[in-house]
Amino acid sequence: MSLLTVENLRISFRPDDRPVVEAVKGVSFSIAEGETLAIVGESGSGKSVTAMALTRLLPSPPAHYESGRILLRGSDILTLPHHNLRHVRGKEIAYVFQDPMTSLNPVFTIRSQIAETIRLHRPDVASHRIDDECVYWLDQVGIINARDRLHSYPHELSGGMQQRVMIAMALAARPALLVADEPTTALDATVQKQIIELLARLQKEHGMAILLITHNFHILPGLADRVVVMFRGQMVESGRTTDILQNPQHPYSRALIDCVPKIGGKKRRLASIDHAVLSAAT
């Protein structure tokens, strides 16, 4: 069953006294309950704009939703009154962004930030149970001595631990869909692997859907069921992850895959992407 369906989404930016920028051009995809879908593309391809549009996080103006629908269990998010978006944001669709240090509030403890999510989106949790709930989610994301960490501030944690806290905060609302926007970009290679394995485990244990935004094809095997490839605001290819990795049909997909470093292979220059050729193929 489809949890989220995006139909012919078109988004432009119209800043004052500057040309109109078409950021998303007719993007369509769906995500089933419990499925992991990855949107892949280089910086500027429109993938993050698409992700933020799912809960209308883009400030309007300058963003304009030109056309399309975003259906969450059949209800169009683009037509919801603003006061109804509070239920969608966090509760139904939660986000984990790429730089946790800019997402976590530096003047509040870890406990207060996770507790705020629980109070807003899970009124069924009694006040005296909130600390236990915070500890539970910190345990789930692999924070050691979770109860001792409740009163830590973000700057007292490593980058990997901060990202785990962000994931715990997002999951504390028990969302139906987790949007992970470049969740490993600011982390070293070892921690990247840990975060990807963590997301895969939590997805299986809690049955949530995941929308993964990334420019790295190499993190997709074992995590993403399907892939959407975006180039200059457009979808250029979509399909099952294994099919696209083994037999990409679009030259842009092939170029992105060729850019993935291969350990033990011959030294070679990374392939350049000829945008003129790609534009003609799109």
* Digit-coded pLDDT (tens) for 89-122: 999 999 998 888 888 999 999 999 999 999 999 9
| Cα–Cα distance measured from residue 251 to residue 14, given in angstroms and rounded to the nearest whole number | 31
**pLDDT, tens only, 6-21:** 999 999 998 877 888 9
Quickly state the pLDDT bin for 264 (edges 50, 70, 90).
Answer: low
Q: Where in the chain is the domain with CATH 3.40.50.300?
A: 2-92+175-281
In this model, does residue 277 exceed pLDDT 60?
A: no
pTM summary value:
0.90
**pLDDT, tens only, 232-263:** 999 999 999 999 999 999 988 988 888 777 76
CATH of domain 2-92+175-281: 3.40.50.300
Q: Work out the end-to-end distance of the chain between its first and last CA atoms, rounded to an integer number of angstroms.
A: 30
In this model, does residue 214 exceed pLDDT 70?
A: yes
**pLDDT on residue 216:** 85
